[in-house]
Amino acid sequence: MSNLTSLTLADALRGLREKRFSSEEITQAHLQAIEAARGLNAFVLETPDHALAMARASDVRLARGEGSVLEGAPIGVKDLFCTNGVRSTAGSKILGEFRPPYESTVTANLWRDGAVMLGKLNMDEFAMGSSNETSAFGPVINPWKSRGSNQSLTPGGSSGGSAAAVAADLVLGATATDTGGSIRQPASLTGTVGVKPTYGRCSRWGVVAFASSLDQAGPIAKTVEDAAILLRSMSGHDPKDSTSLPTDVPDFPNFVGRSVKGLRIGVPKEYRSDGMPPEIEALWAKGVEWLKDAGCDIVDVSLPHTKYALPAYYIIAPAEASSNLARYDGMRYGIRGEGANLTDVYEATRAEGFGDEVKRRILIGTYVLSAGYYDAYYLKALKVRRRIADDFTVAFERVDALLTPTAPSAAFALGDKSADPIAMYLNDIFTVTVNLAGLPGMSVPGALDATGLPLGLQVIARPLDEGTMFSVAGALEKAAGFGAKAERWW
Output the 3-class SS for 271-295. Answer: HCCCCCCHHHHHHHHHHHHHHHHCC
Q: Is 131 a catalytic residue?
A: no
In the set 78, 145, 196, 222, the catalytic residue is 78
Q: Is 182 a catalytic residue?
A: yes
What CA–CA distance (Å, rounded) separates 20 from 262?
Answer: 41
Cβ neighbours of 38 (radius 10 Å):
11
CA 205 remoteness from chain centre: 17
Q: Which of 339, 344, 334, 272 has its CA nearest to residue 302?
A: 272
Helix or strand (DSSP H, E) at 457 = strand 454-461
**8 A C-beta contact, residue 223 and residue 477:** yes
What values do phi and psi take at 489, rounded to 5? -130, -15
Q: Is 322 a catalytic residue?
A: no
In the set 22, 131, 146, 158, the catalytic residue is 158
What CA–CA distance (Å, rounded) separates 399 from 401?
Answer: 6
**8 A C-beta contact, residue 170 and residue 6:** no
Give me the helices (H) in 299-339, please: 309-324
Three-class SS state of 215? coil
In the set 135, 182, 244, 443, the catalytic residue is 182
What CA–CA distance (Å, rounded) separates 274 from 261?
Answer: 33
What CA–CA distance (Å, rounded) separates 171 from 115?
Answer: 11
C-alpha distances in Å from residue 102, one per residue of 86, 88, 105, 162, 205: 10, 11, 9, 22, 10
Q: How long, in residues, is the chain?
A: 490
| Pair type for strands 297-301 and 264-268 | parallel
Query: Which residues are part of the catalytic machinery?
Result: 78, 158, 182
